[in-house]
Amino acid sequence: MLEIDGSYGEGGGQILRTALSLSCLTGRPFSIAHIRRQRDKPGLMPQHLAAVRAAQAISNASVEGARPGSTFLTFHPVSLRGGIFSFDIGTAGSVSLVLQTLIPPLLQAGHPSRLTLTGGTHVPGSPSMTYVTQVFTPMLHHLNAKLRLSIDGYGFYPHGGGRITAEIIPEADLKPYNPGAPSGPLRISGVSAVCNLPQAIAERQRAAALAMLAEKCGDDLHPARIEAMNVPGPGQGTFLFLRAERGGVQAGFTALGARGKPAETVGSEAATKLLRHLSSGAVLDPHLTDQVVPYLALARGESSFSTSCITRHLLTNLWVASQFLPLHYRVYGEEGQAGRVRIAPSNRA
């Protein structure tokens, strides 16, 4: 049985999620100790338990240690299967992180799958579902993975209650990724949204983001289009999402509202993160860089690309993937800075 140290690298839940995902895909059992050791509250939280239950359901796995606060888990998959599944985190835990666990194995399941996930769609510490639909999903399509997503209801902290639907259609081979330098006109679009709050908040978020983008981008920017809208959901919340597209490559950044946080701060926060990425001249944003690792580790050929920030999440995810798969990788650059990543699956042409 493969033994994983949950305190390695960033020492958070990503180690567990990637291990669950690749265990289901490869059929390799594993044990993990020191789960989320680097976090203020170590051990399994509701969203991690939801990921374990979901991985167990799609692989008929036997599991030990799946209880709140547990810092040790064993996972032994039996047989991977596609199908119709529904999982409710029960809190505002991130549905995007549970989805992140399930997509790679279900792409190899042999039969299409339909998932319904309930929890937080736009919550701190995870990719927003707007980012997943507008940036991550187009990247998967580029890699020859077929995924359809819809956000049926929006869930914010602390209420949760958002719901998404995902359809995953298996394909035989994933493509490697070797983009050139970003070129062509820069187009920025986005969404400024409120849920059960005044529309004026969304307008103020939007105005703050547009003002900063116009000031910093100048003539390089086609007129940015940010839609202000109300979204359905059981609780209250706000967010602003920005997407940059240049030469067929997308990057995205989300800022979330919070009680006492001015709408103008939300707008400028998202714009600041986007501008920082654009100033690097890199292809992939930091979030997409670490999320794409399992897919490139399974691709038919070597991948090489630039990123605007080498994160500890990226370094950790590469390490976990190499525990399950015959994988060579190299990262050029320092953590916290722009750099380049090379991923070479050693048993693939």
| DSSP 8-state assignment for residue 219 | G
Question: Residue 26 burial (CB < 10 Å; 0-12/13-18/19+)?
Answer: middle
Question: Residue 245 burial (CB < 10 Å; 0-12/13-18/19+)?
Answer: buried
Pick from 240, 340, 345, 285: which is nearest to 136 by CA? 285
Ramachandran category for residue 218: left, alpha or beta (phi over 0 → left; psi -120 to 50 → alpha)? left
CA angle 126, 250, 291 (to 5 degrees): 40
> Residue 11 and residue 279: Cα distance in Å, rounded?
29
> Residue 10 and residue 279: Cα distance in Å, rounded?
26
| Catalytic-role residue among 111, 122, 313, 328 | 313
> Residue 77 and residue 25: Cα distance in Å, rounded?
9
**Active site annotation includes 313:** yes
- Which residue reads 């035989």 in tokens? 172
> Residue 39 and residue 274: Cα distance in Å, rounded?
27
Cβ atoms of 120 and 88 closer than 8 Å: no
- H or E stretch covering 139: helix 137-142
Pick from 100, 63, 54: which is nearest to 81 by CA? 54
* Residue 336, token pair as written in the block: 């916290």
Active site residues: 313
